[in-house]
Amino acid sequence: TSVTGVQTCALPISNQKKLSVKTGSFPYSVRKAVTHLRTADAVLARLIRQVGPFRMTINQTQDVFLALAESIVYQQLHGKAAATIFKRVCDLFPRSGGHFTARDICRCSDERLRGAGLSLNKMLALRDLAAKTLDGTLPAMSELALLDDEAIIERLTSVRGIGRWTVEMLLMFRLGRPDVLPVDDYGVRKGFMLAFNKPAMPTPRELKSYGQSWAPYRSVASWYLWRAADQAKSGK
């Protein structure tokens, strides 16, 4: 698993950090964001020159349930193993065309879900996610668009198995929010240590404090810090 975006799990949405895409897909001005970061922080300006253009995809989705279900399956697994299990879960519901619903999960037996490769904890997390989707606890995408980042984090972390980091990845790579700084993320902290020539990784509190100057484009700063960590790992 790449150091990029790794905390304790590998998520499909985090894989988007390495891919290039037209910047027109962003709900904010990439040029304005990069200009702000260069002006606000000389070290980031140097890192941006080293890394080059901002390349990140927004994997837009209209289905919050399915995005979070995929994230749950991928937790604490390497990408190939997680993808295999997720496909097996999708294959349980051929009539859904690979896009199963909360109702599908509620109607499926424990034996079939476990048989697809889900651990007990992941099965229970999926069931909780499905139940909260059906009772309205989980907001629809149209409702999420009206909520600020912290409100979304509060709502979604009420689901079993969904922590703050997972929601932060959703905010950045599914919703395209520009000002997310995942201070608990190993790759971001490692990249900061390397880019800023620190003897140790910053604590989450230290990173949050320092990163205030990057607002309102901390998502873009985070992507560049991930790249710093990846470059060090690859020896570039």
| Two tokens, residue 7 | 């905390």
Question: How far apart are the C-alpha atoms of 7 and 165, rounded to whole Å?
Answer: 8
| DSSP-derived 3-state class of residue 66 | helix
Gap between the Cα atoms of 52 and 48, Å rounded? 6
155's CB contacts (< 8 A; 6+ apart) are 137, 138, 139, 147
DSSP character at residue 200: S
Known active-site residue 185: yes
Annotated catalytic residue within 41, 128, 179, 185 = 185
Cα 174 from Cα 142, distance rounded (Å): 13
Active centre residues (catalytic): 185
